[in-house]
Amino acid sequence: MGKSTGFLEYERREGKIIPPAERIKNFREFHESLSEEEQRIQGARCMECGVPFCQAGVMISGMASGCPLHNLVPEVNDLVYRGNFEQAYVRLSKTHCFPEFTSRVCPALCEAACTCGLHTQPVSTKANEKAVAEYAFSHGLVKAEPPTVRTGKKVAVVGSGPAGLAAAVQLNSRGHLVTVYERSDRPGGLLRYGIPNMKLEKSVIDRRISLMKEEGIEFICNVDVGKDITGRELMEQYDRVILACGASQPRDISVPGRDAEGIFFAVDFLKTVTKTLLDSEFENVPYELAKGKAALVIGGGDTGNDCVGTVIRLGAKSVIQLEMMPQPPEERSKNNPWPEWPKVLKTDYGQEEAIEMFGGDPRIYQTTVTEFVKDKDGKVCGAKLVSLTPQKDEKTGRISMIPVAGSEREIKTDLVLIAAGFLGAQAYAADSFGVKRDKRTNVETLLGSYQTNVERVFAAGDMHRGQSLVVWAIAEGREAAREADESLMGYTNL
C-alpha cells in the first residue's frame, strides 16, 4: 500500500494552520489543505506493514486502538498516492457515511495506531480522508441517491447528532421511510451546537443535510421527544425507533456559591454562541458574553479546550483552565505502549491561542474548585481553589485525587464555564419509552446488541455508550440501523 519505500523517503507534512493571532479574529476553520500533488505524497508514506492496526477499531487496555468504523485505511491511502481520488471516495464510502465530519473533528485513532508512528510520524490519514471527501464534493461525486424501492416500513430516529444521522442514512438507503426528530431548531445535534464553528463549519453539516433530504429523509425540528410527544405516540406511528439523544446530562460542580450568576454549563454556552452566529449569518458576534471578563473553564478535555478558544474570540481578558488529573507525560510511558491510545500531553488549538494572547498555558493541573464567591449582586466574582494529589486505595487499586492541606487559594473570575463531562442520557427521554438505564445512566441494551428492553426500540451513540467520540457515534448508528433493518425484514444487507 502506498509507495513501498515512501515512509523512508518522505516526511509527514500538513497543510498550513492560520496563526493564533490571526484566526482568533473570526469563527472560521483555520486548517488549510495541501495541494493535491502534496497530498498524494502523504499517501505514499503508507507502509506495507502487514497488519493494519489503523483500521482495527479494537479495545486495548480500555482504550480504542484504530478506527471503530474499520475504514479501509491502507487502500484509501494507496489510492490517494496514485491520484485516484474518485475510487478512494468509493472505498471510503463502503464503511463511512460522513468523512467530511470526522476528518475535521476526530482525534484520529487511526493515526495513533499507525505502524509508521512507531519510529517516526504516522501517516496523515485524517488529512488524506479530508482531501478525498472534499474532492468528492467539489467534483460532484457526492450525490443524492434516493432508494429505487420503498419497503413501506417507517422508522423514527430520535436525535440528529452523528449517531442519529448515520442510522437515518443507512435505513433510508434500505428503502425504509425515515423521520428524524430533533429538539433544537436545526439538525446536527452535537455536531451543530456542541462543536464550535472554527472546528467544524456548519455549512459542512448543511451540505450533508440537504443531500439527506433529497434522498427522502424527513427532519422534524423543535420537537422534544418525551415532552412534546411521548414515546408511546412515536411507537404507535412507527415500526421501529432508534434512540440517539446523546449523553446530554452535564456533570455539575456541587460547591457553595454554585447559584451565582455568570456560571454556565459549557454546552449551553457554546450553543448560545453558535446559535447567535447562525441566526445572524455571522453578523452578530455575542461579545457581551465574555468581553473583558476573567474566564474560568473547569475541565481539561476537548469541550474545555473549545471553551478556551471561544472566550478568546469573544474578547476575554484572561482565561484559566482547571484539570483535576496530573499533567500527562510528553512521551509515551512504558506502561502505555503502541498501539494503545497515547496518553501524552496535547496542546490543542484553544491552549495555543491562550499562550499567544496571554503568554502562558491556561491549564492548571491537579486543581479543583471548592467554592464560588459572589458579589453583593449575586454575580460570581471569584473562585476558591485547592490543589489535589493522587492517592491509591490499597484494597481496590483505584486512584483518587485528594485535597492537599494548606493549598487553598482564591482567584478572581466573573465568567465560569463548567466542562466537566456528561453523566449520560437525560432521564425523561429514556423514561418516555420505558427503556432501562444502567448504573452510569446510559440506555441498557442486550449484550452485544443495540436492542433495548422494549421491543422495537434500539439505542445508539452516546446515549448507549456514554460520552465518546463522533466516530464511535457514527459506528454505533450504522450498527443499530443494521439490527433494526434485520428485525424489520428478517435479514439485512447493510
- The per-residue DSSP string of 212-249 comes to HHHTT-EEE-S--BTTTB-HHHHHHH-SEEEE------
pLDDT tens per residue across span 314-366: 999 999 999 999 999 999 999 999 999 999 999 999 999 999 999 999 999 99
**What are the residues facing 263 on neighbouring strands?**
416
User: What structural domains and CATH numbers belong to the chain?
Assistant: 6-138 (1.10.1060.10), 154-248+423-489 (3.50.50.60), 263-418 (3.50.50.60)
**134 has a pLDDT exceeding 80:** yes
Average pLDDT over residues 288-300: 97
Share of the chain above pLDDT 90, in %: 94
Amino acid of residue 138: S
Q: What is the pTM of this model?
A: 0.96
Residue 280 pLDDT: 98
Pairwise CA distance, residues 468 & 282, whole Å: 29
Average pLDDT over residues 485-493: 97
Pairwise CA distance, residues 454 & 466, whole Å: 20
pLDDT mean across residues, the chain: 96
Three-state helix/strand/coil letters over 68-94:
CCCCCHHHHHHHHHCCCHHHHHHHHHC
With cut-offs at 50, 70 and 90, classify the pLDDT of residue 209: very high
Strands (E), 61-167: 63-65, 154-158
Say if CB 223 and CB 181 are below 8 A apart.
yes
Pairwise CA distance, residues 210 & 201, whole Å: 15
With cut-offs at 50, 70 and 90, classify the pLDDT of residue 147: very high
Where does 296-421 have alpha helices with state H?
A: 302-313, 349-358
Average pLDDT over residues 263-267: 97
**CA atoms in the 13 A half-sphere facing the CB of 184:** 19
Residue 395 pLDDT: 84
Residue 1 pLDDT: 65
Pairwise CA distance, residues 285 & 200, whole Å: 17
Choose among 370, 374, 378, 323: nearest CA to 351. 323
Residue 50 pLDDT: 87
Residue 61 pLDDT: 85
pLDDT tens per residue across span 1-42: 678 899 999 999 999 999 999 999 999 999 999 999 999 999
**270 has a pLDDT exceeding 90:** yes
Say if CB 392 and CB 205 are below 8 A apart.
no
**200 has a pLDDT exceeding 80:** yes
Amino acid of residue 75: E
φ, ψ dihedrals at 297, nearest 5°: -105, 125
Strand pairing of 415-418 and 294-298? parallel
Pairwise CA distance, residues 192 & 161, whole Å: 8
